[in-house]
Amino acid sequence: PVLVVDYGAQYAQLIARRVREAQVYSEVVPHDISVEEIKHRNPAAVVLSGGPSSVYADGAPQVDPALFSAGVPVFGICYGFQAMISALGGAVEHTGTREYGRTELEISGDGGTLHAEMPGHHPVWMSHGDSVSKAPEGFEVTASTKDTPVAAFESVERQLAGVQYHPEVVHSPHGQEVLRRFLHDIAKVRPQWTTSSIVDDTVAAIREQIGDRRAICALSGGVDSAVAAALVQRAIGDQLTCVFVDHGLLRAGERAQVERDFVAATGVRLVTIDAVDRFLGELAGVTDPEEKRKIIGREFIRVFEQAARDLQAEAGEAGEQIDFLVQGTLYPDVVESGGGSGAANIKSHHNVGGLPDDLQFELVEPLRALFKDEVRRVGLELGLPETIVHRQPFPGPGLGIRIIGEVTADRLETLRAADAIAREELTAAGLDRDIWQCPVVLLADVRSVGVQGDGRTYGHPVVLRPVSSEDAMTADWTRLPYDVLERISTRITNEVSEVNRVTLDVTSKPPGTIEWE
Ligand code: XMP
């Protein structure tokens, strides 16, 4: 792999993704990794990421100069670039000036390998205090900026290079090309990480792990469990059984999407558990959001557990114990829970965490090395429908936490109808990729007066909650075009008899969360 050394900025994962966009497999490793360990991993190259520190700060993470004579190609970015310069004998100065944001890069000479034939001046994204004033002996300086005499350096012969700016962000329009040139032209790494190679390698690894034994997988209707299941199905066919729990809190068409479209695309063996009455029974009379969430989570595990036991019993009679549970854990979860390798750091999937001890499964996590965009590409490669592959986030507790008040079958029907209209119109307007998600919330205990036709109505409001976000940690309300809002509003009030008012939530997160409960 290419190892991306994380100096504690938020950029390491992004760099790792960009390396993969250059079709080279990458992993994030912590900055305290030793040169010995790095050599042991036999990396094709090492990328030193940016970080918040000054190289002169007390306790600033240093780069062991031994790395540069280890015979491994190294690319330094921002802090990594400065740490590299100072370890190689160049000069980093505490200038007191800060360069932050969009800056003009000036290419020197022919631009070397990294910047050849690029516009002589072009924008890059900067974020640093200290500046490199002198490159180490034997290196070519290929770019500068107004405040930084040395903004890029390289030695093709020694396979070492670096840039002061952040090539990984979109505000550096030539950044991806620079990274690609380092990987392909300086480090001479062959671009082999393609979607089809991911599929082939993962399928082979799953076969190796599971052999002729059996596995189960809980499908949620979401992207991750669907792609994980599809990969395992491709690897072991009918040795996999998928379980889909219909808790009655799904949106219109979602059960059909799994039962019909997903099965048609994959040929997976699927058991659907119809648990609608059970969930509604448990939710009767409950209005507190946390209590709803607890009940839904608890019942989900109970139902899945029972299904697993039943399947286990069936398989057991045939002498075919089920040994494996498939989970859709993604690479960012693995990195964030501190693991790179090693099974100790597994963060269990939200939907099926906490299975009891007498149901002991070995985990199969086919997406453990993948970022979300790679998961989607793998899904498409496996022939999964767009509706599943590009599905927007939808909470595990489903519509249960979008009805403010008690959850009943009638209210679910009302909300489902309103939600379907909003989704249809957003899709028709081509807005699905622009918004993160758009919950529709039913204020079931609120009524207001309206007029429809000649009659007075006394119906419920729904709230549209369109949000834009990168990661759901923060979000802004999306400025939807008025004509789209108008179509949604007109259709909902005409077509959903219980609803006589459509309102728009214009709160960012924070202070509001995305969901209302
Ligand atoms: P909040 O409401 O916390 O939501 O701003 C952030 C994101 O998480 C989704 N969400 C959930 N997803 N199980 C899930 O799988 C849950 O219990 C859950 N609650 C919220 C929400 O839709 C949004 O994308």
Residue nearest to atom 24 of ligand 1 (CA): 393
Give distance in angstroms: CA of 273 to centre of ligand 1: 24
Number of domains observed in the structure of the chain: 3
Determine the pLDDT at residue 486: 98
Residue 123 belongs to some domain of the structure: yes
Residue 462 belongs to some domain of the structure: yes
Which residues have CB under 8 Å from 235's CB, separation 6+? 202, 203, 204, 206, 207, 210
Euclidean distance between the first and the last CA atom of the chain, given in angstroms as a whole number: 42
Among 404, 514, 516, 517, the mutation site with the greatest number of ligand 1 atoms within 8 A of its Cβ is 514
CATH code for position 414: 3.30.300.10
Residue nearest to atom 20 of ligand 1 (CA): 395
Residue 445 Cα to chain centre, angstroms: 36
In this structure, the answer to whether residues 180 and 207 fall within a common structural domain is no
Q: Determine the Cα–Cα distance for residues 115 and 105; give it in Å rounded to an integer.
A: 10
User: What are the Cα distances from residue 465, in Å, to 252, 294, 507, 512?
Assistant: 18, 24, 9, 11
In this structure, the answer to whether residues 64 and 85 fall within a common structural domain is yes
37 phi, psi to nearest 5 deg = -60, -40
Determine the pLDDT at residue 288: 97
pLDDT band at 171 (very low <50, low <70, confident <90, very high): very high
Q: What's the ipTM?
A: 0.98
Residue 398 belongs to some domain of the structure: no
Do 481 and 429 form a contact (C-beta atoms < 8 A)?
Answer: yes
Residue nearest to atom 6 of ligand 1 (CA): 472
pLDDT-above-70 percentage for the chain: 95
pLDDT at 344 over 50: no
The last residue of one of the domains, among 149, 166, 186, is 186
The last residue of one of the domains, among 168, 186, 204, is 186
Residue 399 belongs to some domain of the structure: no
pLDDT band at 108 (very low <50, low <70, confident <90, very high): very high
Among candidate residues 27, 31, 78, 242, the one labeled active-site is 78
Residue 419 belongs to some domain of the structure: yes
Buried b (16+ CB within 10 A) or exposed e, 314-350: ebeeeeeebbbbbbbbbbbbbbeeeebeeeeebeebe
pLDDT at 239 over 50: yes
CATH code for position 284: 3.40.50.620
In this structure, the answer to whether residues 199 and 116 fall within a common structural domain is no
User: What are the Cα distances from residue 93, in Å, to 90, 98, 144, 167, 498?
Assistant: 10, 12, 15, 22, 68
Residue 220 among known ligand-binding residues: yes
Q: Determine the Cα–Cα distance for residues 467 and 480; give it in Å rounded to an integer.
A: 10
In this structure, the answer to whether residues 425 and 382 fall within a common structural domain is no
Among candidate residues 27, 99, 168, 374, the one labeled active-site is 168
The mean pLDDT of 446-452, rounded to a whole number, is 95
Residue 513 belongs to some domain of the structure: no
Do 365 and 339 form a contact (C-beta atoms < 8 A)?
Answer: no
The last residue of one of the domains, among 186, 208, 237, is 186
Among the listed ranges 239-243, 267-271, 338-342, which one has the minimum average pLDDT value?
Answer: 338-342
Q: Which domain range does residue 57 map to? A: 2-186
In this structure, the answer to whether residues 356 and 436 fall within a common structural domain is no
In this structure, the answer to whether residues 327 and 438 fall within a common structural domain is no
pLDDT tens for 394-418 read 999 999 999 999 999 999 999 999 9
pLDDT at 165 over 50: yes
CATH code for position 95: 3.40.50.880
pLDDT band at 481 (very low <50, low <70, confident <90, very high): very high
Strands 131-134 and 91-93: antiparallel
Do 221 and 261 form a contact (C-beta atoms < 8 A)?
Answer: no
Helix (H, G, I), strand (E, B) or coil at 248: coil
In this structure, the answer to whether residues 213 and 146 fall within a common structural domain is no
In this structure, the answer to whether residues 231 and 340 fall within a common structural domain is yes
Token pair, residue 231, equals 């990969």
pLDDT at 355 over 80: no
Residue 225 among known ligand-binding residues: yes
Residue 323 belongs to some domain of the structure: yes
pLDDT at 363 over 60: yes
Among 327, 477, 515, the mutation site with the greatest number of ligand 1 atoms within 8 A of its Cβ is 515
Q: Determine the Cα–Cα distance for residues 255 and 248; give it in Å rounded to an integer.
A: 9
Among the listed ranges 50-64, 108-122, 156-170, which one has the minimum average pLDDT value?
Answer: 50-64
**Pseudo-torsion of CA 53, 56, 61, 66, nearest 10°?**
140
In this structure, the answer to whether residues 177 and 290 fall within a common structural domain is no
pLDDT-above-90 percentage for the chain: 82
In this structure, the answer to whether residues 221 and 368 fall within a common structural domain is yes
pLDDT band at 432 (very low <50, low <70, confident <90, very high): very high
Residue 394 belongs to some domain of the structure: no
* Residue 184 is a catalytic residue: no
Give distance in angstroms: CA of 466 to centre of ligand 1: 14
User: What are the beta bridge partners of residue 462?
Assistant: 442, 502
Give distance in angstroms: CA of 441 to centre of ligand 1: 14
pLDDT at 497 over 60: yes
Alpha helical stretches, state H, 91-245: 112-115, 175-181, 195-210, 223-236
Ligand 1 site residues, Cβ closer than 6 angstroms? 350, 393, 395-397, 437, 472, 509, 513-515
In this structure, the answer to whether residues 263 and 364 fall within a common structural domain is yes
Among candidate residues 166, 174, 247, 460, the one labeled active-site is 166
Task: Please count the CA atoms within 13 angstroms of the CA of 298 that sit on its side-chain side.
Answer: 9
The mean pLDDT of 330-342, rounded to a whole number, is 71
* Residue 217 is a catalytic residue: no
pLDDT tens for 115-160 read 999 999 999 999 888 899 999 999 999 999 998 999 999 999 999 9
Q: Determine the Cα–Cα distance for residues 248 and 274; give it in Å rounded to an integer.
A: 8
In this structure, the answer to whether residues 151 and 207 fall within a common structural domain is no
Q: What is this structure's pTM?
A: 0.88
Higher per-residue confidence, 211 vs 60 = 211
pLDDT tens for 242-253 read 999 999 999 999
